[in-house]
């Protein structure tokens, strides 16, 4: 049984901080923050809300509504960031190019970024966008944890098989450093496991718990 996670208390007092269209509009680059990324139809906002026990990120039946860098305050030193979704939203090409430009600028310059949670629809993993994020994570040395979302859409055996296959593919191409798990927002599957990863990155765990939080 996993120990009581200190991030839960912080999430209960979490609040919206600011939306930024450009990197120079982001909050002061201090403390620690974890960013959430994924294709527009990967269930990113639902996963963020489920992990925080709050309605921080706006969910919509129309994928691609997250068009800004949205920052959420946990405490004076810790934040979560909902990044723009990609690959599905029916928006003009110039706007997509704007998103990509400023997402890349954020990832490349943000000193307080301590980890990236990448959401993949378990039925459509390792898209071109996913692979780009994995490439960047390995090249930059940024810790990355994958949530295979919508795991409830498959039978449990099929979901486990998909997990093993994606994990194998990732280790073959990107090495051993990336952790991965099953996740379902409606069923609250994998919530505690993911919260432990967040708590480890945000320096909320004793060292012995922190070492085990990123294992997958």
Exposure string of 97-119, with b = 16+ CB inside 10 Å and e = fewer, is: ebbeebbeebbeebebbbbbbbb
Residue 107 belongs to some domain of the structure? yes
- Judged against a pLDDT cut of 80, whether residue 48 lies above it is answered with yes
Is residue 205 assigned to a domain? no
The pLDDT score that the predictor gives to residue 213 is 59
Q: Which of 96, 154, 87 is nearest to 119 (CA)?
A: 87
The vertex-190 CA angle with 33 and 166, nearest 5°, equals 90
With tokens 């919530």, the residue in question is 191
Is the pLDDT score of 57 beyond 80?
Answer: no
Q: Which of 18-22, 62-66, 75-79, 97-101 has the lowest mean pLDDT?
A: 62-66
Q: For position 178, which CATH number holds? A: 3.40.50.300
Q: For residues 79 and 88, what is the distance between their CA atoms, to the nearest angstrom?
A: 27
Asked whether residue 216 is domain-assigned, the answer is no
What is the rounded CA–CA span in Å between residue 72 and residue 25?
Answer: 14
Confidence of residue 60 (pLDDT cuts 50, 70, 90): very low
More confident residue, 130 or 100: 130
Q: Is residue 210 in a domain?
A: no
Question: Can you give the pLDDT at residue 211?
Answer: 56
Residue 109: give the domain boundaries.
Answer: 4-200
Residue among 46, 70, 51 nearest 121 (CA): 46
Q: Work out the burial of residue 73: count CB atoms within 10 Å of its CB; fewer than 13 is exposed, 13-18 middle, 19 or more buried.
A: buried
- Please report whether residue 79 resides in a domain: yes
In a domain, 213, yes or no: no
Q: Which tokens is 69 given?
A: 């860098």
For residue 77, being part of any structural domain is answered with yes
Using a pLDDT cut of 70, give the percent of the chain over it.
83
Helix axes 156-174, 128-140, angle to 10 degrees: 50
What would the two tokens of residue 97 be? 């190019």
Question: In percent, how much of the chain has pLDDT > 90?
Answer: 56
What's residue 61's pLDDT?
47
156-179 per-position pLDDT tens digit? 999 999 999 999 999 999 999 999
The Cα–Cα gap between 117 and 120 comes to: 10
The answer as to whether 209 is a domain residue is no
Nearest to 203 by CA among 114, 132, 103, 108: 114
């Amino acid at each position: 049984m996993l120990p009581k996670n200190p991030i839960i208390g912080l999430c209960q007092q979490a609040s919206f901080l600011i939306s930024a269209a450009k990197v120079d509009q982001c909050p002061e680059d201090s403390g620690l923050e974890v960013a959430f990324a994924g294709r527009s139809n990967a269930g990113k906002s639902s996963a963020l809300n489920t992990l925080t026990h709050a309605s921080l990120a706006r969910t919509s039946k129309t994928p691609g509504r997250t068009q800004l860098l949205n920052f959420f305050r946990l405490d004076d030193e810790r934040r979560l960031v909902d990044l723009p979704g990609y690959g599905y939203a029916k928006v003009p090409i110039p706007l997509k190019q704007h998103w990509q430009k400023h997402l890349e600028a954020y990832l490349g310059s943000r000193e307080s970024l301590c980890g990236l949670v990448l959401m993949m629809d378990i039925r459509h993993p390792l898209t071109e966008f996913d692979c780009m994020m994995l490439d960047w994570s390995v090249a930059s040395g940024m810790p990355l944890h994958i949530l295979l979302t919508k795991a409830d859409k498959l039978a449990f055996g099929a979901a486990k098989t998909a997990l093993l296959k994606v994990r194998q593919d990732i280790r073959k191409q990107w090495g051993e450093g990336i952790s991965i798990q099953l996740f379902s927002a409606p069923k609250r599957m994998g919530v505690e496991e993911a919260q432990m990863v967040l708590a480890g990155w945000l320096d909320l765990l004793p060292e012995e718990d922190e070492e085990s939080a990123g294992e997958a």
